[in-house]
Each structure stands twice: as C-alpha cells, then as structure tokens.
Amino acid sequence: MSVPNFRPAKACGAGKAAVEAFAAKFAQSVGYAPGDDLDPIVERLGGTIVYKGFADLGDSADASVRVWETGKFEIVLPDYTSLARDRFSIAHEIGHYVLHYPLVKEPMVAARYGSTPVEWEANWFAAGFLMPEKAFRKHHAAGKSVAELARLFKVSNAAVMARARALRLAS
C-alpha cells in the first residue's frame, strides 16, 4: 500500500459565529448532547482515536488528525493529558474533519500546534459542539459556577472560562 501525500488543511473562511452555529447543528445531527461520550461519534464518522506516549508520538507529533478519505481518519492524542482536555481535542479534530477535509478532498493532515485560521476554526467548532451557545447561556444564567459548568459539559475549567469570555458573559 502506498503512503498518501497528505495535504495541509485549508481554512473554510467562515466567521466564528457561523462555525459555532454549524457545530451546534452538527452536534444535533449526530445525536450528541452536552456531556455525551465522543468515541461513538468518531466511530460513526469512520474515525479512530489513537493514544500515544510522548516517546511514541514520533512523526505524529506534528499531526493531530490524518484523513485518508471520507469515512477514514485518525485522531492522534497524547496519553498523558486529562479526559476534559482530550474531549476538547477530539471535538477540535472532528472540526477539522467536517470543516476542512471537504475543501481538500485528498488525504489531509492538520498540524498539532499553531495559531492559524485553520486552528481557530477548529477551536470555534469544538467550543460550539461541546458547549452550544443556547445551553451554555441557560446554565450560566442559572448561576452555575465554572466548576459546575465544566462538569456538566465535561470540559476543563479553562474551556468554560474561554467560552464565557467568547460569549461576553465574563471578562
């Protein structure tokens, strides 16, 4: 079997609000509710999640997701991060798959690190997917603490605080 020449992910060019709204609709379309397990969704989409130790990351240290074709992709995560962090990373990589792969339509890779429009879009997708605006605002308005919101959405406290700032609910 030949090794494909992976193309880098391309930004879709949609704004933050559009990406987050798309993520919330996508979550509904795959039957995801805040706090649900992400593994079945990755599997239904045709993906696998691989956990690797720092020494084992090798050439995957620069790639967080590799897509061979529609319905065949791999998410590579370090095995030394928290479940809450991993959930955000998995949602982020799903974002690359649904936002960026359709633009490339060839074997695609997304880099693990960087501050580029491609990475911003995947982060916006992850936030909108895991913490849909309507649900987040509802629970925030009910007076739930950062820790309570983090438990509800199964994300880190940092992700909750970033989401609250992005929705202008906190400074």
- Low pLDDT (below 70) residues in the chain: 1-3, 54-63, 112, 171
pLDDT of residue 39: 97
- 56, containing H or E segment: none
pLDDT of residue 5: 87
Q: Tokens 């060019």 sit at which residue?
A: 13
Please state the domain extents for the chain.
7-131
Tell me the whole-structure pTM to 2 decimals.
0.91
Structure tokens at 120: 């911003």
pLDDT of residue 61: 47
pLDDT of residue 60: 46
> Nearest CA to 23 among 138, 131, 140, 101?
131
As a whole number of Å, the CA-based R_g of the chain is 16
Q: How far apart are CA 22 and CA 69, in angstroms?
A: 22
Other CB atoms within 10 Å distance of the CB of residue 99 = 25
pLDDT of residue 52: 84
Fold for domain 7-131?
A: Arc Repressor Mutant, subunit A (1.10.10)
Tens of pLDDT, residues 132-164: 999 999 999 999 999 999 999 999 999 999 999
Please state at what angle helix 16-29 crosses helix 117-130, rounded to 10 degrees: 50
